[in-house]
Structure 1
Amino acid sequence: MNEQTRHTKTLFALDVVTLAGDPAASKDFYAAAFGPLMSKSAGSVEVDMHGTGRFELASATTVGSGGEGASSSFPGYVVTYALAQPSEVQAVMDTAAHAGAHVLKPAKKALFGSFSGSFRAPDGSIWKVAADSNKNKGPAAAAPRPTEISIILGVKDPKASRAFYQALGLKTDRDYGNKYIDFHPVDGAVRLCLMQRGVLAKDVGINDPGDGTGGLTLSHRAATNEDIEQLIAVADSSGSRSATPRAHEAGSGSGHFADPDGFRWNLSTSK
């Protein structure tokens, strides 16, 4: 496939992050920890993180394996919840712990003048709560709201993963080689980022990085069936690891693929 046809002409974005677990228990935890807007659908809970990202809480049987099963206490990714100041980070960390989260790193001053802490949610997902500055600018908000939400994938080779996602149509924002890479998000969506898996696990307080990707599914809502077929073709030609022997049925309005590190993407037409 030549360079012109390798790259998708459609807008590719991370539209929804699905976390597998017990939807009812997860709903209670996320409502207490973050206070998002929620609505129920068949077998899942839809979560609007205050306009900075959309999540879905679903059972493992509903979403499938979401990739390969985790081989350690690290699922291979971290969700970063960015706030305005340290007092808000501490407030969210305290609320999450009270709601049942396991604190991995207490909130404290971190690198480059930042302030952060991390925890494991009851569904097994890892969250890092952070502020760019370690100094408060004023009273903490009664209900802290995120300035941005990112999901960082722990990958073997960030540069190779960058090429894979660029082929799909994502535009690189900050690029520090194999240390850290992220992509421009669309408005109201979660930002996708890349780090080496072992470095990412250590950053949130986990020594064993493992090699699984269970419990996570990333979703893109395409405009047409043709867009889905194009994305499947580009992914296949760019190094995807298909989650099933046949990743797509032509004309079905849906499809899926796994990126080079096994992270699963679901594709569906817009509703």
Structure 2
Amino acid sequence: MTLSLDAMGLGVPEVEDARTFYTTTFAPTADDRGRHVNLDMHGTGQVALYGTEALAADAGKDAEPASGFRGYMMTFIVKQPTEVKNVVDAAVQGGAKVLKPAKKSLFGAFSAVYQAPDGSIWKVAAPTKKDKGPAASPAVPTETAALLGVADMKAAKAFYEALGMKVDKDYKHYADFHPDAGSCRLGLMPRGTLAKDAGVEDGGSGFRAAVLHRRAGSRAEVDTTLAAAAASGGLIAVEAGETGDGYSGHFSDPDGFLWKVTAA
């Protein structure tokens, strides 16, 4: 059993509006799947768009409107600074709010942060401060990641390692795990540090409108993953059973981030 972030499920007010925003901003391949829209981020993981109330109900949660910082930030890594600017410009034209304008930075070399119309926060970054050639259009990411703000880095790392994830980078205020091919990278930062990096105040309440997805290979793997999460300090949010998506269940990590594990 190895946990991987196969898709980041985002709760949005209107799925079709969100589909328009994300396809215009990132140019992913969109796949309508009945209750949600799946976006393939150019082979670097997937983003799944759900109605917020449907996402909350599926996870056994109340869809209390989120206020303040939701505790996570998505990142979209491209190759060059001009590609950062182009992605952010497209997001702003679609209704996003810039939280940090595009500029040179120590972490990420060149980056910008914006808040999408659905409330999720995205950081777009390039590893270099200068272009080294023509900018790709559309920008093709080298990586898509979800960064989770956690209370205790050591405990959070231990939890995910217990579920089979392998630490890649490990610093005092940042750690991440090796992503499987075609999946998103998962990263951890102290919550206050992540809020500062996002350009927002720490503190928030309500449903986070986000559920991390693992697509398991079998029903047995669903059961094993849920059992491992519970034994390692997580909580079972929804017991495994037959659903409209197949056989699935939900757990939350020690910081309350929800995961859905599904076998089609």
Q: Which amino acid aligns with 1:46?
A: N
- Once the two structures are TM-superposed, the CA of residue 43 in structure 1 deviates from its matched residue by 2.0
In structure 2, do the counterparts of structure 1 residues 136 and 209 end up closer, same or farther at CA, with 3 Å as the change threshold?
farther
Residue in structure 2 matching 1:124, options 116, 119, 133: 119
Moved more, 68-77 or 113-122: 68-77
Given that residues 76 and 213 in structure 1 are in contact (C-alpha distance below 8 angstroms), is that contact kept between their aligned partners in structure 2? no
> In the alignment, residue 175 of structure 1 is paired with which amino acid?
D
AA partner of residue 141 (structure 2): P
Q: Is the 8 A contact 1:80 1:127 kept in 2?
A: yes
Say whether residues 1:64 and 2:49 are aligned partners.
Answer: no
CA deviations 1:12-45 (Å, max 9, x no partner) are: 2111111001211100100111111101111211
Task: Compute the RMSD of aligned alpha carbons.
Answer: 2.0
Once residues 194 and 212 of structure 1 are traced to their aligned partners in structure 2, the CA distance between those partners, rounded to angstroms, is 21
Read off the aligned partner of 1:48 and give its amino acid letter. Answer: D
Task: Give me the whole-angstrom Cα distance separating, in 2, the residues matched to 1:213 and 1:29.
Answer: 22
Shift, 1:225, TM fit: 1.6
| Residue 23 (structure 1) aligned with residue 18 (structure 2) | no
Where in structure 1 are there 5+ consecutive unaligned residues?
Answer: 1-9
2:211 is aligned to: 217
Q: Which whole-Å CA distance do the structure 1 matches of 2:118 and 2:206 have between them? A: 15
Q: Match of 2:43?
A: 51
Distance across 1 between alignment mates of 2:87 and 2:262: 33
Matches of 1:113 and 1:191 in 2, distance apart? 15
Q: CA deviation at 1:253?
A: 2.2
Which of 15, 27, 42 matches 2:34? 42
Change (3 A) 1:15 1:122: same
CA offsets 1:130-185 (integer angstroms, 9 cap, x no match): 011111112212211111111000111121011000001101101113x0010000
Which residue in the other structure is 1:190 paired with?
184
SS in 2 for 1:253: strand
Shift in alpha-carbon separation, 1:163–1:60, aligned structure 2, 3 A: same
1:76–1:212 contact (8 Å) kept in structure 2: no
Equivalent residue for 1:166? Answer: 161
Cα distance 1:229–1:112, how it changes in 2: closer, same or farther (>3 A)?
A: closer
SS class of match (2:176): strand
TM-score by length of 2: 0.92
1:256 is matched by which residue type in structure 2?
A: H
Q: Which runs of 5+ in 2 are unaligned?
A: none
Q: Tell me which residue corresponds to 1:228.
A: 222
Structure number with higher strand proportion: 2
* Whole-Å separation in 1 of the counterparts to 2:130 and 2:189: 27
User: Structure 1 residues 212, 192: closer, same or farther in 2, change over 3 A?
Assistant: farther
After superposition, residues 80-119 of structure 1 pair within 5 angstroms as 80-112=75-107, 114-119=109-114
Secondary structure at 1:122's aligned position in 2? coil
TM-score (norm 1): 0.89
8 A Cα contact 2:9 2:212, kept in partner: yes
Structure 1 residue 237 and structure 2 residue 231: aligned? yes
Counterpart residue type for residue 170 of structure 1: M
**How many pairs are equivalent?**
258
2:174 matches 1:180: yes
What corresponds to 1:13 in structure 2?
4
Q: Which residue of 2 aligns with 1:5?
A: none
Residues 104-126 of structure 1: CA deviation (Å, up to 9, x unaligned): 11100111570100000011110
Q: Is 1:152 matched with 2:154?
A: no
The DSSP-based 3-state class of the residue aligned with 1:75 is coil
